[in-house]
A and B are shown apart, each in its own frame.
Chain A
Amino acid sequence: MSEKRSTHFGYREVDEEAKAGLVANVFHSVAARYDLMNDLMSGGIHRIWKRFTIELSAVRAGQSVLDIAGGTGDLAAKFANIVGPTGRVVLADINESMLNVGRDKLLDTGFQGNVEFVQADAQYLPFPDDSFDCVSIAFGLRNVTDKDLALRSMLRVLKPGGRLLVLEFSKPVNPLLGKAYDGYSFRVLPVMGKLVAGDSDSYQYLAESIRMHPDQETLLGMLEDAGFVNCEYHNLTGGVVALHRGFKA
């Protein structure tokens, strides 16, 4: 008899097969107010983190970019401006609600021609091998059930020499900052979620999922194990967030 494997959903242990559905419910619930909540929760700093991600992507005109878990399209819009009409940006998200919000936002602000929208699971990317110059995933990897499988899938679709960028919450380097951050995450965020998005549970999950996500060094090792080379990371805002980068040989 095959034994069901378990994984974590926040602090809870759940069946691996159930996690995707639970995460989907979280994002269906917050999709409409996602941008507003991001601005409120981070005080707008998420824009600076994403700007730094764009700088490290070194994407140029005419290149192809895959933005996984692209949500409401913040990164995809910036990439689309850089790659221009001869380039290609694919905004992918597993969650239909998030993808709809992102697609509407980008089309309403005039992005068309070089942007595609694909509902896709990061673990099983529906693209041929060696398709993209750059793959990015911002605040999405921690929600993926099997992160190693997803990283290998990202490596597969990257062109040789292409780069992966993983922007994700991480572990603050200063213990004092860590304590303040804990207090903020578990006391303020759920209340803010309740008041603005009408959903405190989703933001409780957000705080828990951040604590369960691998820290900087562990994620670096995972990138190397998946087959990426020249891997490195940059701590942002004292390690509250880290940007990992790896190349396909």
Chain B
Amino acid sequence: MAAGLDPTLTTAALAALEAALNSALALDPAGQQQLGRLAGSTFAIECTAPKVNVYLQPAADKTRLLGYYDGPVTTRVRGAAADFAELAGASDPAAALINGNVALQGDSAPLIELQRIIGQLDLDWEAPLVTVLGDVAGHQLAEFLRSSFNAGNAVSGSLRRQLDEFIHEEARLTPPRLEVEDFYTDLQSLQQRVDRLQSRLDRLRKRMQASHT
């Protein structure tokens, strides 16, 4: 009766993902607390390629991932996996939602808040490492991971800035963001003036036709 993938597989995959997600969230109590503010919300993520539906219910103690959900949904997003990856990594989620290929239904504010919280997660690997490896080795490995992560972040940030500058200022391949926004503002204003002029012309034409008859 039920077509498609055996629910055992999808349910097992989601159970594993949920366990991993909650283990990771346990390493950032502040982030988990922030997720608690979204308790009661249900986010439906409908992936069209590959075809998978996931329902996410955030909570302070345990965030749930469901493959099947019958109740009311706060926000529903639909798109391909690549579109969701783009949205998840966007520095400006609101702009990514508006300009991206993800279709949205319902309240967008909780979704933007969720994306912000996930983006700001700061996982503390030291506690589990110390538990497994002991104080000295655990701390040293955590320090190494932290410094590698920070160095990686700094390098990628600097690379992004330099690339941005090269594309916009040196090669002039695409215009800078501010120039584009100015251009759109001017365009919008021009469109409004053209519309007004068109209305005036229409009124004049009607008046002339009335005086001829």
Contact = CB atoms under 8 A, between A and B. Distances in A.
| A and B found bound together | yes
Contact of A237 (B1, B8, B66, B68): B8
A236 B8 contact: yes
Interface residues of A, number: 18
B17 to A, nearest CB: 12
A112 B70 CA distance: 27
A186 interface: no
A52 interface: yes
A55 interface: yes
Interface residues of B, number: 14
Contacts of B6: 235-238
Interface string B64-93: 001111110000000000000000000000
Contacts of A234: 1-2, 7
Interface of B is mostly: loop
A48 interface: yes
A28 interface: no
A235 B68 contact: no
B210 to A, nearest CB: 64
A69 B96 CA distance: 50
Contacts, number: 43
A228 to B, nearest CB: 15
A52 B2 contact: no
B12 A48 contact: yes
B15 interface: yes
Contacts of B71: 58, 60
A47 B19 CA distance: 14
Contact of A52 (B1, B68, B69): B68
A235 B2 contact: yes
B11 interface: yes
Interface of A: 45, 47-49, 51-52, 55-56, 58, 60, 216, 232-238
29 contacts: A45-B8, A45-B12, A47-B15, A48-B12, A49-B8, A51-B11, A51-B15, A52-B7, A52-B67, A55-B67, A55-B68, A55-B69, A56-B68, A56-B70, A58-B69, A58-B70, A58-B71, A60-B71, A232-B2, A233-B1, A233-B2, A234-B1, A234-B2, A234-B7, A235-B2, A236-B6, A236-B7, A237-B8, A238-B6
Given A48-B15, A51-B15, A232-B1, 19 more contacts: A45-B8, A48-B8, A48-B11, A48-B12, A49-B8, A52-B7, A52-B8, A55-B68, A56-B70, A58-B69, A216-B1, A232-B2, A233-B1, A234-B1, A235-B1, A236-B6, A236-B8, A237-B6, A238-B6
Interface of B: 1-2, 6-8, 11-12, 15, 66-71
